[in-house]
Amino acid sequence: MTRALRILVPLVIVVISIVILEDGHIFPEPVHLQVPNGSLVAPPANGQGSQSGGTAAQQPAAAAAPNAAHLALSVHPSSNASHGYVVGAEVRTPEGAAAGDATVSFYEAVDFFGPREELLGTATTDSSGSASFTYLPATTGSHRIVARSSGIAKVASGQASETFTAAIAAPAYRDHVPAITAFYNLVPYGVGVVVLAVWLLIAFALIGTARGVARGAREQKEKGVIA
């Protein structure tokens, strides 16, 4: 019976292994993601996004309509240098009249997983058709600003862009570091020393015992030879 079981047990293990491996692979086959056509395309932007500020990325706008507003964009340094630049937009109807109450959205063209527009903020035109937005870029150098006005009565939306070179940029972000951080940073080293001490103690217990026992055995053997 015992002998039969000795044969049976490995046999069962082999059979189970074959069942497990029957489809020829243990690990999963590479998964190929099937992306439906168009599902990753961003919604068409028309410059009238619901955001009033922030960092939402937008796709470039569609071609302007025949009754599109005329939009002039200008960038000049703010009177307060630390505020950066004033991005001004002037919106006029196709006939040249000032277009008040139009919402102007300001974007910056960025390269973030491909060319995109980052929404910087929005402003509403006054009775003279002017709207402005104070912008402090994150970096110095060339920036391309795009402005889009919302459609108002009988006037479709319009857009304009302007490239300028920024000499002023926001100061680099610096996290506030609490004083205790310096102490916290030492903790891993302290713990590391304790862990090392523990490992050394384990090694000492094991190797020390092994050496002690083996030495005793050696001496015993030598004694035996002499005897």
Residue in the block written with tokens 């001490």: 197
Specify the stretch interacting with another protein by CB under 8 A; choose among 86-94, 111-119, 156-164, 215-223. 215-223
* Under rule CB under 8 A, residue 14 binds another protein: no
Report the residue from 9, 62, 138, 186 that binds another protein according to the rule CB under 8 A: 9
Q: How far apart are CA 147 and CA 85, in angstroms?
A: 15
Smallest distance, Å, CB 123 to another protein?
Answer: 33
Strand partners, 155: 152
For the bound state, the minimum distance from the C-beta of residue 31 to another protein, rounded and expressed in Å, comes to 9
Query: Is residue 224 a contact residue for another protein (CB under 8 A)?
Result: yes
Q: In a 3-state reduction of DSSP, which class is residue 112?
A: coil
Cα–Cα dist 227/216, whole Å: 16
What minimum distance in Å lies between the beta carbon of 28 and another protein? 5
- Counting contacts by CB under 8 A, is residue 205 touching another protein? yes
Binders in 20-39 for another protein, by CB under 8 A: 20, 25-28
Structure tokens at 199: 């490992």
Rule CB under 8 A: is residue 213 a binding residue for another protein? Answer: yes
CA 57 from centroid of its chain's CA atoms: 13
- Residue 42 in contact with another protein, rule: CB under 8 A: no
The nearer residue to another protein, 19 or 172, going by C-beta atoms, is 19
Interface segment toward another protein; rule CB under 8 A; list 5-13, 103-111, 113-121, 139-147: 5-13
Does the footprint of another protein cover residue 11 (CB under 8 A)?
Answer: no
d(C-alpha 39, C-alpha 17), whole Å: 42
The residues near 94 (Cβ < 8 Å, ≥ 6 apart) are 67, 68, 69, 70, 155
Residues 141-180 within binding reach of another protein (CB under 8 A): none
Residue from 2, 39, 80, 165 in contact with another protein (CB under 8 A)? 2
The two structure tokens encoding residue 179: 């004083």
Binder among 76, 83, 144, 218 for another protein (CB under 8 A): 218
How many Å apart are CA 126 and CA 124, to the nearest integer? 7
Of 57, 157, 72, the C-alpha closest to 111 is 57
Alpha helices in the chain (DSSP H): 2-20, 181-226
Q: Which residues bind another protein (CB under 8 A)?
A: 1-2, 5-6, 8-9, 12-13, 16, 19-20, 25-28, 188, 191, 195, 198-199, 201-202, 204-206, 208-221, 223-224, 227
